[in-house]
Amino acid sequence: MEQIVKIQEAFIQTPLGITAIKGDESGIVSIYVLNSDTIAPSTVIPDCLETTIVQLQEYFAGTRKAFQLQLNPKGTDFQKNVWRELLNIPYGKTLSYLELSRKLGDVKAIRAVAAANGQNPFWIVVPCHRVIGSDGSLTGYAGGLWRKKWLLEHESPYKQQTLF
């Protein structure tokens, strides 16, 4: 008889808003930021989500540049290929949608690549925020462009100094 696994969920406060994390013992199925603060952070964290929360807190504290998590993505083979390629973009670096399409072997698939990027279920962990327009512009981001800008500045090796 097949065992039914219940997906666990936790909500944490981050500098960019409340973040929802869902998963079970076989891995994380999604991490996403809410566009509303109507949900309070969780007071009890399921064991299977502890590591993810610790690693996200370390990322926001500036002490983590890469994640070591068991991800359990749901999507098409094409989407999974795009998400795997996103993992190759180093912390503090960016890549254009065109360059990403080229790495995936088909520059004509740029729109499909952009769409798959936008469907990424693992906010920050699979760094879709590191993909920008060919002209360097901050284009498209499901969490809002202000969050994309914040994340890229957070990861930048060149911190803006205050003048006064």
The total number of residues written for the chain in this structure: 164
- Tokens 């699979």 correspond to 126
**Alpha helices of the chain — where are they, by DSSP H?**
50-61, 77-86, 97-103, 110-118, 145-155
Q: What is the DSSP letter of 122?
A: B
Contacts of 120 (CB under 8 A, 6+ apart): 82, 83, 86, 126, 128, 142
Tell me how far CA of residue 120 lies from CA of 47, 73, 83, 107, in angstroms: 24, 9, 7, 20
Q: How many helices (H) and strands (E) does the chain have?
A: 5, 5
Asked whether the CA dihedral 80, 151, 68, 74 is positive or negative, the reply is negative
Q: Which of the following is catalytic: 12, 114, 124, 128? A: 128
Cβ neighbours of 42 (radius 10 Å): 17
Check if 128 is active-site: yes
Q: Which residues are catalytic?
A: 128
